[in-house]
């Protein structure tokens, strides 16, 4: 049904001229709540221009813009997320009108945000799409005619972007469509030539290495993954992303590097990465791997994956092991193990959504199997403080685990009574959760009565752990078997985001993706729109994440002693202070010691 009056009127007044694809687009706009009178457009002040797309499109656009310079049409290039990355040619009046409509680099013209238009609708329909005048869903775009066509990778079929030509309605020309289609064919031909050369180089290096070595061999770039039999049995989908991430980070300006990597199934390999191609045409990376026997593990792993203990532990994220393969996850496991060896009350700290209650349940499973697990939320104590404290006292007098959740939010009138109960001991194991020690307010005063601390790190400090956390969340959020998996590109995107809501935000995002995927493996288009591009949020680079992991590990090992941490890292203390500031490390949440700062 067409419930929007604009749609009904258009169909009634102009039944022969209104095209079916325009009506379909308007329906989509209506369903997602696009406002016909709106004029807001998502904007990214800083964005990456896809190098492959720009290499192929730039010469073609240069030539066209020379032909159209000062004319009545302008050329617009957008990426696969409908974000405009280039705009060329056009007369002064046209460019001024486009500026007013925000048809400029950095603005995102996805149909779900800006209604029916030549860029977003071409992406939705996956074919050339013409929109003219009143066919635009938004009124502020009705003075334009635009025709956009998707740019597809000729080998993979993936949409790389959109080429669009826009003019005023009065300047609409029947030659616009053939002009766009001819330019698209030329750009796609250049993509094919570029891809063929890169893939040929990757294949040649792969075959050469496979013939001379019995190692597990992989040739990899953003789009291609070639593996021999040994590598196929060793790696899973998450390892593909992490291998590429590790290789790019470690190679830097070098042509070759070596180091240890811990893979998803907790296999530690000695890896050698070699750059394929040159600076002007980087084809990818060749990685050769050999499994390190358990007896030979030294614990000197690469900083990206943290210190590795000798021997083998259960795979991260299975059984009784907390998931994750990062430095921060290793630190958390060690702290939880130490906390589990004492009967003293434990305080689990961390930002909202990091999984503090999950860690508490983990401690209970390790040391309290078969006994009750009870959660008392300090937020609910505000309703009936006396009943809440009485029930807590009764529960602490019985065996099992009692979790005092959101303890820093405890009502002021209960702080003394709760502190007395905690100090009084009893058969129950006490675990509290809070944002951090040192919190101001009445509730914060109770935290010092829980002497053992465990801090759950934010998800942004351990992006590589998403490869281990996501399968657990997906298994809980779907009854389908087998459980849908994250495709490598999807995992790479999720690892590039900042996750201010931490694991809870990741869980909500994956829940939406599971519903949209209808049981299939989860691709980027199944994610909510705002999560489909790592560049759309304040994601940090792999190198920054690795450097932050190293600094955090040094600070954790020295209990927050910055002088000792700087000596451990081999840098000046002033340099460490600068890195803490640049890497966004919150000094108020560092572990503290008694040594000088």
Give the pLDDT mean for 211-237.
83
Task: Indicate the Cα dihedral angle 529, 152, 87, 148, nearest 10°.
Answer: -80
- pLDDT for the residue 117: 95
Collapsed DSSP state (helix, strand, coil) of residue 521: coil
- Pairing state of beta strands 428-434 and 346-349? parallel
CATH topology agreement for domains 5-193 and 213-296: yes
Nearest to 123 by CA among 148, 86, 102, 154: 148
Measured distance CA(329)–CA(351) in Å, rounded: 15
Residue 558 contacts by C-beta under 8 Å, 6 or more apart in sequence? 564, 565, 568, 593, 595
Give Cα 21 distance to the centre of its chain.
34
pLDDT bin (cut points 50, 70, 90) of residue 39 is: confident
Residue 50 has a CB neighbour count (10 Å cut-off) of 19
pTM of the model: 0.55
Do residues 87 and 74 lie in contact, with contact meaning Cβ atoms separated by under 8 Å? yes
Give the pLDDT mean for 396-425.
88
Specify the CATH superfamily of domain 5-193. Answer: GAF domain (3.30.450.40)
pLDDT bin (cut points 50, 70, 90) of residue 265 is: low
Bigger pLDDT: 49 vs 526: 526
The length of the chain, given as a count of residues: 597
pLDDT bin (cut points 50, 70, 90) of residue 15 is: very low
Do residues 2 and 25 lie in contact, with contact meaning Cβ atoms separated by under 8 Å? no
182 has a pLDDT exceeding 70:
yes
- Looking at the structure, give the CATH architecture of the domain made up of residues 213-296: 2-Layer Sandwich (3.30)
Does CATH number 3.40.50.300 belong to domain 327-457?
yes
Q: 417 forms bridges with which residues in the sheet? A: none
Domain boundaries, the chain: 5-193, 213-296, 327-457
26 has a pLDDT exceeding 80:
yes
pLDDT bin (cut points 50, 70, 90) of residue 300 is: very low
Across 59-73, 81-95, 197-211, the highest mean pLDDT is recorded for 81-95
Bigger pLDDT: 429 vs 316: 429
């Amino acid at each position: 049904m067409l419930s929007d009056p604009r749609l009904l009127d258009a169909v009634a007044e102009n039944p022969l001229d209104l095209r079916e694809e325009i009506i379909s687009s308007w329906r989509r706009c209506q369903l997602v709540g696009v406002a016909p009178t709106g004029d807001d457009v998502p904007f990214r002040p800083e964005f990456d221009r896809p190098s492959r797309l720009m290499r192929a499109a730039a010469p073609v656009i240069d030539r066209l813009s020379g032909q159209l310079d000062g004319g009545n049409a302008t050329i617009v290039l957008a990426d696969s997320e409908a974000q405009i990355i280039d705009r060329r040619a056009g007369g002064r009046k046209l460019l001024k009108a486009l500026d007013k409509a925000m048809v400029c680099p950095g603005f995102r013209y996805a149909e779900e945000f800006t209604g029916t238009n030549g860029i977003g609708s071409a992406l939705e329909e996956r074919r050339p799409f013409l929109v003219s005048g009143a066919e635009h869903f938004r009124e502020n775009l009705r003075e334009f005619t635009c025709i956009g066509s998707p740019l597809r990778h000729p080998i993979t079929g993936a949409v790389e972007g959109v080429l669009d030509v826009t003019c005023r309605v009065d300047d609409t020309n029947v030659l616009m469509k053939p002009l766009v289609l001819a330019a698209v064919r030329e750009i796609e031909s250049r993509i094919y030539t570029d891809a063929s050369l890169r893939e040929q180089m990757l294949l040649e290096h792969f075959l050469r290495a496979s013939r001379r070595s019995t190692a597990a061999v992989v040739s990899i770039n953003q789009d291609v993954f070639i593996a021999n039999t040994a590598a196929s049995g060793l790696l899973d989908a998450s390892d593909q992303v992490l291998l590429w991430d590790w290789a790019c980070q470690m190679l830097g300006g070098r042509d070759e590097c070596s180091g240890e990597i811990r893979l998803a199934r907790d296999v530690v390999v000695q890896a050698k990465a070699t750059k394929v191609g040159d600076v002007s045409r980087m084809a990818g990376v060749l990685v050769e791997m050999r499994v390190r026997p358990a007896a030979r593990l030294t614990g000197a792993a690469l900083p990206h994956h943290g210190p590795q203990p000798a021997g083998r532990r259960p795979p991260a994220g299975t059984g009784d092991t907390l998931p994750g393969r990062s430095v921060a996850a290793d630190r958390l496991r060690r702290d939880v193990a130490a906390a589990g060896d004492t009967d003293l009350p434990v305080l689990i700290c961390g930002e909202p959504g990091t999984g503090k209650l999950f860690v508490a349940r983990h401690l209970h499973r390790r040391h309290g199997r078969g006994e009750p697990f009870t959660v008392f939320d300090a937020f609910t104590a505000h309703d009936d403080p006396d009943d809440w404290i009485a029930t807590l006292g009764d529960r602490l007098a019985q065996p099992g685990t009692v979790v005092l959740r959101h303890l820093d939010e405890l009502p002021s009138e209960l702080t003394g009574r709760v502190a007395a109960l905690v100090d009084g001991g009893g058969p129950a194991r006490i675990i509290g959760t809070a944002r951090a020690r040192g919190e101001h307010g009445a509730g914060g005063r109770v935290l010092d009565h829980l002497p053992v601390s465990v801090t759950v790190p934010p998800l942004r400090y351990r992006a590589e752990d998403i490869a281990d956390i996501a399968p657990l969340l997906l298994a809980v959020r779907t009854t389908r078997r087998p459980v849908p998996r994250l495709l490598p590109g999807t995992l790479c995107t999720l690892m590039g985001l900042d996750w201010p809501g931490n694991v809870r935000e990741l869980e909500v995002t994956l829940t939406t993706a599971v519903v949209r995927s209808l049981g299939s493996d989860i691709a980027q288009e199944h994610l909510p729109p705002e999560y489909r591009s790592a560049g759309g949020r304040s994601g940090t680079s792999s190198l920054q994440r690795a450097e932050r992991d190293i600094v955090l590990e040094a600070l954790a090992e020295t209990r927050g002693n910055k002088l000792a941490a700087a000596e451990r890292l081999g840098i000046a203390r002033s340099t460490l202070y600068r890195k803490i500031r640049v890497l966004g490390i919150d000094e108020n949440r560092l572990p503290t010691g008694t040594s000088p700062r």
